[in-house]
Chains A and B, each alone.
Chain A
């Protein structure tokens, strides 16, 4: 299993500012995933972060709003840019374990409140 450390665990930010969330994995992984969970909603995939190439964004998410870095195989950052109250969500970092019983592992999440 993978152990994922994510920080900050929570933050309250002013609208118009940016917040960078960090995700550290205890093993090397090819792909890291960033999810958003808005209140009462499902976990929605924002993008897939690949080491050595640009992130792949899902429909409705763009690089200018959610720039992602992936400098090595154990670390990634997600920035929420020019924040508005609608960005208030839980943001989660995740990695997949392959094999006979593939499953996703998650960090503890970052609870973001934009005021």
Chain B
């Protein structure tokens, strides 16, 4: 039973446009959420996070939105660049534990020049 779901395995976007990656979770106890980016032959790297006390966190071109009532979060990339092409993993964790993240299956983003 997947606790973190990324229902879109892939997304294709034109350079300069907005990329929106979605993530749903089922465990209402999760209170800390992260996005990771993974290039081929590399490990995932941290991109951005959000605590459940917030509904938005912004870092440059990347913004994460959290809708707790819907158990949904999204990552917006504006403007998208070809170098953003990678697999993006959504993750959720519990602050009361060891912050060990539970990951989704990832969404492969392709940004076309």
Contact = CB atoms under 8 A, between A and B. Distances in A.
Counting contact residues on chain A (CB < 8 A from B), the size range is 20 to 34
Most buried by A among B44, B105, B106: B44
Given A40-B9, A42-B105, A96-B98, A108 B43 contact: yes
A107 B2 CA distance: 24
Contacts, number: 59
Nearest to A38: B105
Given A106-B43, A108-B43, A41 B105 contact: yes
Nearest to A33: B100
Contact of A9 (B36, B41, B104, B105): B41
B20 to A, nearest CB: 20
Counting contact residues on chain B (CB < 8 A from A), the size range is 20 to 34
Interface in A20-59: 31, 33, 40-45, 48
Given A9-B41, A42-B89, A104 B105 contact: no
Nearest to B42: A108
A7 B4 CA distance: 29
11 contacts: A42-B103, A43-B103, A48-B98, A94-B43, A102-B93, A103-B49, A104-B36, A104-B46, A104-B99, A107-B43, A109-B42
Top 6 A-B pairs, shortest CB-CB distance: A106-B43, A102-B99, A43-B103, A103-B46, A42-B103, A42-B105
